[in-house]
Structure 1
Amino acid sequence: MTDLPGRENDPNDNPFAMFGNPEQMAQAMRQFADMLSAPQGSGPVNWDMAKNIARHAVVAEGDPSVMEGERRQIVDALQLADLWLNEATALPSGVSNPRAWSRSEWIENTVPVWRKLCEPIAERMVETMGGALGGGSLPPEAQQMAAQLGPLMGMMKQMGGMMVGQQIGQALGSLAREVVGTTDIGLPLSDTAALLPGGVASFSEGLELPADEIRLYLALREAAHHRLFQHVPWLRGHLLGAVEEYAKGITVDTSALEEQIRGLDISNPEALQEALSGGGLLKPEETERQKSALARLETMLALVEGWVGTVVDAAAEGKLPSAGALAETVRRRRATGGPAETTFGTLVGLELRPRRLREAAVLWQALVADRGIDGRDAVWGHPDLMPTADDLDAPDTFVKGDTAWDISKLEDGED
Structure 2
Amino acid sequence: MNILRSVWRVADSSSNGKGSIDWAAVSAAAKAATDPGSLDLSTADRDGYASDVRDARERLQAVAEVEFDVPEVIEVQNRHHWIDANVETFHRIMLPLEEHGPTVLPGITRAINTGTFALVLSFLGNNVLGQYDPLLLADGDGDDDHGLYFVEPNIRRVAHSLDVDYPRFRRWIAFHEVSHAAEFGAAPWLSTHLETRMERGIDALVEGDLDRDAFRELDTAMTAVEGYAELLMDRAFDEEYGDLRRKLDERRQGGGPIAKLARRFLGLGLKRRQYERGARFFRYVADKRGVAAASRVWDHPENLPTDDELDVPERWIARVSP
Q: How does 1:366-385 map to 2 (within 5 A)?
A: 366-385=284-303
2:226 equivalent to 1:305: yes
Letter of the 2:321 partner, please give it. Answer: A
Structure 1 counterpart of 2:27: 51
Give the alignment partner of residue 212 of structure 1, picking from 157, 163, 167.
167
2:13 equivalent to 1:35: yes
Give the alignment partner of residue 235 of structure 2, picking from 291, 297, 314.
314
Q: Which runs of 5+ in 1 are unaligned?
A: 1-30, 131-156, 252-284, 406-415
Structure 1 counterpart of 2:319: 402
Which has the higher mean CA deviation after the structures are superposed, 90-99 or 325-334? 325-334
Q: CA deviation at 1:187?
A: 7.4
- Secondary structure of 1:63's counterpart equals coil
Give the alignment partner of residue 292 of structure 1, picking from 196, 213, 236.
213
Per-residue CA deviations over 1:340-381 (Å, capped at 9, x if unaligned) read 634535xxxx97535353342232223334443333212212
2:49 equivalent to 1:74: yes
2:150 equivalent to 1:195: yes
- Secondary structure of 2:34's counterpart equals helix
Structure 2 counterpart of 1:233: 188
Letter of the 2:74 partner, please give it. Answer: P
Q: How does 1:16-415 map to 2 (within 5 A)?
A: 35-36=13-14, 40=18, 43-59=19-35, 62-69=36-43, 70-89=45-64, 90-122=66-98, 127-130=102-105, 157-183=106-132, 191-250=146-205, 289-316=210-237, 319-321=238-240, 323-329=241-247, 338=260, 341-342=263-264, 344=266, 352-353=270-271, 355-399=273-317, 401-404=318-321
Letter of the 1:202 partner, please give it. Answer: R
Structure 1 counterpart of 2:140: none
Change beyond 3 A, Cα 1:68–1:243: farther
Letter of the 1:404 partner, please give it. Answer: S
- Secondary structure of 2:154's counterpart equals helix
C-alpha contact 2:83 2:125 (8 A) present in aligned 1: yes
Determine which structure has more spread, i.e. the larger CA radius of gyration. Answer: 1
- Secondary structure of 1:201's counterpart equals helix
Q: Paired residues, what number? A: 300
CA–CA distance in 2 between the matches of 1:397 and 1:334?
Answer: 34
Change beyond 3 A, Cα 1:324–1:100: same
Letter of the 2:118 partner, please give it. Answer: G
CA–CA distance in 1 between the matches of 2:291 and 2:201?
Answer: 33
Q: CA deviation at 1:49?
A: 1.6
Q: CA deviation at 1:197?
A: 1.1
C-alpha contact 1:38 1:45 (8 A) present in aligned 2: no
CA–CA distance in 2 between the matches of 1:230 and 1:105?
Answer: 25
Per-residue CA deviations over 1:248-306 (Å, capped at 9, x if unaligned) read 4558xxxxxxxxxxxxxxxxxxxxxxxxxxxxxxxxx8x7x533233222222221111
* RMSD between aligned residues: 3.6
CA–CA distance in 1 between the matches of 2:75 and 2:10?
Answer: 37
- Secondary structure of 1:35's counterpart equals coil
C-alpha contact 2:39 2:152 (8 A) present in aligned 1: no
C-alpha contact 2:10 2:115 (8 A) present in aligned 1: no
C-alpha contact 1:335 1:355 (8 A) present in aligned 2: no
- Secondary structure of 1:86's counterpart equals helix
C-alpha contact 1:46 1:165 (8 A) present in aligned 2: yes
Q: CA deviation at 1:307?
A: 0.3
C-alpha contact 2:226 2:275 (8 A) present in aligned 1: yes
CA–CA distance in 2 between the matches of 1:101 and 1:195?
Answer: 6
- Aligned-residue identity in percent: 21
Q: CA deviation at 1:205?
A: 4.4
- Secondary structure of 1:98's counterpart equals strand
Letter of the 2:232 partner, please give it. Answer: V
C-alpha contact 1:85 1:315 (8 A) present in aligned 2: yes
Q: CA deviation at 1:50?
A: 1.2
CA–CA distance in 2 between the matches of 1:92 and 1:219?
Answer: 15
CA–CA distance in 2 between the matches of 1:80 and 1:324?
Answer: 20
Structure 1 counterpart of 2:6: none
Q: Provide the TM-score with structure 1 as the length reference.
A: 0.62
Per-residue CA deviations over 1:32-77 (Å, capped at 9, x if unaligned) read 995229875xx43222221111111113xx5334535444433332
Letter of the 2:271 partner, please give it. Answer: R
C-alpha contact 2:197 2:217 (8 A) present in aligned 1: yes
CA–CA distance in 2 between the matches of 1:187 and 1:333?
Answer: 27
Q: Provide the TM-score with structure 2 as the length reference.
A: 0.77
